[in-house]
Structure 1
Amino acid sequence: MSTTFNYKHLYYFWVVAKEGGISKAADKLDMAVQTVSAQVRELERALGYALLKPAGRGLVLTDAGVAAMQQADHIFQLGERLPGIVRDAVSSPAVRLAVGVSDGLPKLVVHRLLYPVIAEPNLRLLCHEGEFDDLLGDLALHRLDVVLSDRPAPSNPNIKLYSHAMGSTAVAWYAAPELAARAKENFPECLAELPVLLPTSHTAVRDRLDNWFENRAIRPRIVGEFEDSALLKTFGSSGMGVFPAAEWVHDDLIAHFAVERIGTCEGVADHFFAIGTEKKVLHPLVQRLLQPVG
């Protein structure tokens, strides 16, 4: 290896490879495209091999790039852990778990998915909510230990991810008591007349709900669409409309939102996944999360 080898250059290459292009990496690093490109070229000169090559509108790894990427993954995975290791060495021991939560995931479901680790002594749980693609980017950069989502990770040749199914639950319709009484008289046909609240299309379950309506020739009277599941339930409990929710959290929903169950959304289910990077040593609490949820 050349004596001019620079770990900063390796880091910029690593981000470029993870993001699939120099422009995306520059945005992630908050740097100029020209600067990032120059740093990668410096690394290639130091190593004596091209690490990236054009492919369509993006970049892919050369054989040398694949070898460099494997080592960079190990190096920066250890680097991400270093601050926590040092902090724990001089303070009370803590078990840190950084979880990314897809913004379409119901909050009550998130609590249930994380329940197996909540009682861990000295747990320091960090929950970051955000858009699915952004969370996967942070996961690839080892800023997160795991991502919880309602869909598996898409295939990406530059990022080795696994998607572990954590379970699924039927979906049912709920409403405030007065509206529920009207809905039960002619369910589900009444959903063509009564106000309906739905999650927005950024959730995986929205397509299944739309198909459910179409298969029953019901044209719902949609009066509200919500990205945030907690807002959906809050407006639903106020009487604004009938709304769908995962039956996993039926008891909590009844207790906290004072709504009633109208009927099952037959054939529609919500699916939940834990997404992580393929590491030689998996976080012990992530291992615990991967146990099946009843």
Structure 2
Amino acid sequence: MKTSGINFRHLYFFRVVAAEGSVTRAAERLGLAIQTVSTQIAALEQSLGKSLLTQQGRRLVPTDAGRVALTYAEQIFELGDRMQEALNEADNGRVRLTVGISDSLPKLIAYRLLQAAFGMQSAVKLVCVEREFETLLADLALHKLDVVLTDRTVRASASLRVFSHLLGESEMMVFGAAALARKHGRNFPRGLNGAPMLLPTRNNALRGRIDEWLLQQDVRPDIVGEFEDNAMLNTFARDGLGLFFAPAGLEHDIRAQFNAVPVGAASGLREQFYALSSERRIRHPAVEAILAAQTGLFAA
């Protein structure tokens, strides 16, 4: 059965009823009569040719078709909210950039990448969210984010329309507090044997390459901490609790912010940085600025 067009007011009422689990509570929330809400839900179901809600105990819950409709409804109203925000920002002469930052990405790298957006002629309003990688992918697919900055790539597929854009890469170095660097920096990398080491957890894209590099060097540090959050790892490193790997291009920042010095260059070990978008071709002007500024960004 073909639809005659969706009434978005009806769709909004359906979304509220699904959230409240009751026409009565939805009517109270909307400030409308119960009959009004009930009638408009029925009109939506008739226009779609599908039953969207069913009684389960004392609650109304979405049917299989209702769950599909609710998924799209959430996207529609999320985009509506973002459109209103974008229009408000446009009135103020600003470009809104909503960025997802993977919790494994070094924050100094994220800062370096985002600096390029502020060099635009147009003013930028930056909104940053930090979450787990899989959550960011879902939000990007739902167009809740303009771009995701991360340290790993992802392949586009029929079910996941996400594209990876390489921003740059950097050779890695081992850093540590001055006392640790003096003790374990002699005869590098042999001096790493038994050294206290702070590493990302094994679900981090870089961790496998670090383990392989250590194996190639035939050194076995004492792994005293593993962290999903790069910022937490840096906090422990700042207190001199262990050596850690970081991009060589951040040496100046690491010296200044973490009071850490280089122990040695991890030759052959590199970390890549990516921008993920929901389209193959980037169209957001601030994201285009970030991509254009990648040349030389990670030079030591």
Shorter-chain TM-score tier: 0.7 to 0.9
TM-score (norm 1): 0.74
Shift of the alpha carbon at 1:161? 1.7
**TM-score when scaled to structure 2?**
0.73
- Cα drift, residue 88 of structure 1: 3.4
CA contact (8 A) 2:106 2:231 kept: yes
Q: Is the 8 A contact 2:156 2:163 kept in 1?
A: no
The 5-angstrom pairing of residues 32-111 of structure 1 reads 35=62, 37-39=64-66, 79=80, 81-88=82-89, 91-111=91-111
> 1:80 and 1:290, CA in 2 relative to 1: closer, same or farther beyond 3 A?
farther
Regions of 4+ moved over 6 Å: 40-43, 74-78
How far the C-alpha of 1:216 sits from its partner, in A, is 2.1
2: CA distance, partners of 1:117 / 1:266 = 32
Question: Within 5 A, what are the aligned runs for 1:133-148?
Answer: 133-148=134-149
Paired position in structure 1 for 2:253 = 252
CA contact (8 A) 2:86 2:95 kept: no
- Structure 2 match to 1:293: 295
Q: Which amino acid aligns with 2:250?
A: V
Single out whichever of 161-170 and 74-83 deviates more from structure 2. 74-83
CA drift of 1:268 comes to: 0.8
Aligned residues: 245
Distance of aligned partners of 1:185 and 1:277 in 2 relative to their CA distance in 1, 3 Å threshold: same
Q: Distance in 1 between matches of 2:76 and 2:282?
A: 14
Q: Which amino acid aligns with 1:194?
A: A
User: Alpha carbons of 1:266 and 1:285: their partners in 2 closer, same or farther (altered >3 Å)?
Assistant: same
Sequence identity (%): 38
Larger deviation, residues 113-122 vs 171-180 = 113-122
For the Cα contact (< 8 Å) 2:78–2:144, is it kept in 1?
no
Aligned: 1:266 with 2:267: yes
The residue type paired with residue 162 of structure 1 is: F
Q: Secondary structure of 2:130's partner? A: strand
Q: What is the aligned partner in structure 1 of residue 184 from structure 2?
A: 183
Whether the 8 Å contact between 1:170 and 1:269 is mirrored in structure 2 is yes
Give the number of the structure whose alpha-carbon radius of gyration is greater: 2
CA contact (8 A) 1:113 1:293 kept: no
Cα deviation for residue 2 of structure 1 reads 2.3
1:218 deviates by 1.8
CA distance in 1, matches of 2:200, 2:67: 42
Aligned equivalents of 1:42, 1:227: Cα separation in 2 = 35
Q: Is the 8 A contact 2:98 2:128 kept in 1?
A: yes
Residue equivalent to 1:58: none
RMSD: 3.0
CA distance in 1, matches of 2:175, 2:139: 35
1:4-23 map, 5 Å: 5=6, 8=11
CA distance in 1, matches of 2:211, 2:94: 45
1:122-146 residue CA offsets vs partner (Å, 9 max, x unmatched): 3110010001110010011111000
